Structure 1
Amino acid sequence: MLERKPHKDRIEVTFVLPADAPPGPVSVVGDFNDWQPGVHTLTPRKDGNRAVTVALPAKRAHSFRYLAAGDYWFNDEGADARDGANSRLHT
C-alpha cells in the first residue's frame, strides 16, 4: 500500500506492508535510491504494519520493487502502474 502526503515541491510516499508478509526484513528499492537494498528498510508501526517514508520530487514517475529476505523480489499491488517487472508510482 502507498500513502502520499503532498508538500510544496515534493511528495512524501510511505510504503506500507503487513507485519509478517513476507517474513523478515524488507526494503523498498527503486530508481530514487539507485536500486540499493537496505537504504529504505521498512520498520514496525504502531498499527502493526511495517513502513518507510521516502521524500520524492513532485510531478515525476518512479519505478520500484520490494526486496525481502532470501532475495525475494515483489511488487506493490497498490502501485499506480507497472513498468515491465517493476511497480510504478506517480508523484
Structure 2
Amino acid sequence: MLERKHRKDRAEITFVLPADTPPGPVSVVGDFNGWRPGAHELREQKDGRRAVTVALPRERTHTFRYLAAGDYWFNDESADGQDGPNSRLHT
C-alpha cells in the first residue's frame, strides 16, 4: 500500500506492507535508489505493519518493486500502474 503526502517541494511516499506477508526483511527498490536492495528497508511500526518513507521530487514518474528474503520480487497492487514488470508511481 502507498501513502502519499504532498509537500510544496517534494512528495513523501510511504511504502506499507503487513507485518509478516511476506516473511523476513523487505526493501523497496526502484529507480529512485539505483535499484539497490537494502537502501530503503521497511521497518516495523507501532501498529505492526512495516513501512519506509521516501522523499521524491514532485510531478515525476518512478518505477519500483519490493524485494523480500529469498530473492522474492513483487509489485504493489496500489501503485499507479505497471511499467513492464515493475510498479509505476506518479508523484
Same fold, TM-score > 0.5, yes or no: yes
Q: Extract unaligned runs of 5+ from structure 1.
A: none
Q: 2-side partners of 1:62 and 1:19: how far apart?
A: 25
Structure 2 SS opposite 1:65: strand
Query: How many pairs does the alignment contain?
Result: 91
TM-score between both structures, scaled by the size of structure 2: 0.99
Which amino acid in structure 1 is aligned with residue 74 of structure 2?
F
Q: 1-side partners of 2:73 and 2:30: how far apart?
A: 12
TM-score between both structures, scaled by the size of structure 1: 0.99
Matches within 5 A, 1:1-91: 1-91=1-91
Q: Extract unaligned runs of 5+ from structure 2.
A: none
Q: Deviations over 1:21-71 (max 9, x none)?
A: 000000000000000000000000111100000000000000000000000
Q: 2-side partners of 1:38 and 1:12: how far apart?
A: 19
Q: 1-side partners of 2:20 and 2:71: how far apart?
A: 16
4+ runs of 1 displaced by more than 3 Å?
none
How far the C-alpha of 1:9 sits from its partner, in A, is 1.2
